Amino acid sequence: MLLPPLSAIPPWVVSLDDYEGLAKERVEAGVWAYLCGASGDEATLAENREAFGRIKLSPRIFRDLSSASTALTLFGREYAHPIFIAPTAFHRMFHPEGELATVLGASAMESCLTVSTSASTGIEDIVSQATVPPWFQLYIQPDRGFTAELVKRVEAAGCGALVVTADAPLSGLRNREQRAMFRVPAGIEAVNLRGMKAVPPSDRVFGSELLASVPVWKDLEWLRSLTGLPVILKGVIDPEDAVIAADEGVSGIVVSNHGGRTLDTVPAAIEVLPRIADRLEGALPLLMDGGIRRGTDILKALALGASAVMVGRPVIHGLAAAGATGVAHVLKILRTELEIAIALTGRATLKEVDRSVIW
């Protein structure tokens, strides 16, 4: 029997891990496998966490912290802190209020939500509830005409940026999800894709219509010609691709392996981040996601070259556990942990967080 969402947060809930247990009791088994799972042997999923554990911090003492702040400016906008929400699909699978609850929780904590292409709520409704303009994550669809209309629609709705996901032209084979026979439940759909001409399903990979229409670099140029929004490329792992992306004129990059859900045995995003930062030498703002569960993880990412981080599964744990309140509390925990971690390493502002923070 599934439990209903909580109406109050128990006092023993103090970390993101605590939320995972609360969420599991409230989510149907197949949907849970979709949320937690990753591709293949889930080696990259595990590595995203383990790599953070191998990085040690180096605290400095007796520093002046009187002007401490986590504020930053990104793509011309001020943000109160560098904790952003990664795009994840179909929030109504996890809570009846879906993305509307997520965006309320995000707004309460001054956090920016990236809305998935496969959101289960209309983009205009989500943006209307936000105090921080959401970003929109775009999968370039085989139907390029529909894609162009969608880009115009999200810009008109008031989204602040377009996050183009590049690492999932095909879905990874997520065995955990296959074994649980996961299907998107009836009544829940990617409403922002309604009316699109979909490619017919195929049990072939090579030779399929889908493979014939996967996006290439030239599609990025086309996309940039359609919109005045900053275009951020998500799913970059190889430093060579980061260099091409910068040459192509993207506004930013999300260093990400899709939470281990696409190609398995890719290195942890936090391991890749400093290599990309070294290659780009500050040419573009970098974000990263994958395995962020603690404020110290965020501090490590900032020290290794990220301007901000995105958080995926834990936000959904908060949503499933307690709707908007759960989302806000997950973000609040992370924000408090980050402030304490920055202060205990003797730094006052994000500008002071550089590689000297790493042991």
Ligand X SMILES: CC(C)CC(=O)C(=O)O
Ligand Y SMILES: Cc1cc2nc3c(=O)[nH]c(=O)nc-3n(C[C@H](O)[C@H](O)[C@H](O)COP(=O)(O)O)c2cc1C
The DSSP line for 58-87 is ----S---TT----EEETTEEESSSEEEPP
SS3 for 200? coil
| Partner from ligand X, ligand Y, none contacting 58, C-beta within 5 to 8 A by type | none
292 binds ligand Y (CB under 6 A): yes
Q: Order of strands across the sheet with 252-255?
A: 83-85, 308-311, 286-289, 252-255, 231-236, 162-165, 135-138, 114-115
Among the listed residues 39, 102, 118, 345, the single contact to ligand X using CB under 6 A? 118
Binding residues for FMN: 87-89, 116, 137, 165, 234, 256, 258, 289-293, 312-313
Among the listed residues 91, 95, 224, 261, the single contact to ligand X using CB under 6 A? 261
**Minimum CB distance to ligand X, residue 171 (Å):** 6
The answer to whether 317 is a known catalytic residue is no
116 binds ligand Y (CB under 6 A): yes
Among the listed residues 5, 82, 87, 230, the single contact to ligand Y using CB under 6 A? 87
Beta-carbon-side half-sphere exposure of residue 35 (alpha carbons within 13 Å): 24
CB 289 within 8 A of CB 167: no
Catalytic residue, candidates 91, 258, 317, 329:
258
**Minimum CB distance to ligand X, residue 154 (Å):** 17
Binding residues: 34, 87-89, 116, 137, 139, 165, 174, 234, 256, 258, 261, 289-293, 312-313
**Minimum CB distance to ligand X, residue 267 (Å):** 18
SS3 for 95? coil
Among the listed residues 313, 317, 335, 347, the single contact to ligand Y using CB under 6 A? 313
**Among the candidate windows 59-67, 251-259, 295-303, 338-346, which touches ligand Y by CB under 6 A?**
251-259
With vertex at residue 111, the alpha carbon angle to CA 107 and CA 112, rounded to the nearest 5 degrees, is: 100
CB 253 within 8 A of CB 290: no
Residue 65: alpha-carbon gap to chain centroid? 30
**Minimum CB distance to ligand X, residue 35 (Å):** 9
Which residues make Cβ contacts (< 8 Å) with residue 142, sequence separation at least 6? Answer: 197, 198, 199, 209, 210, 213
Q: Give the residue numbers annotated as catalytic, written as ranges.
A: 258
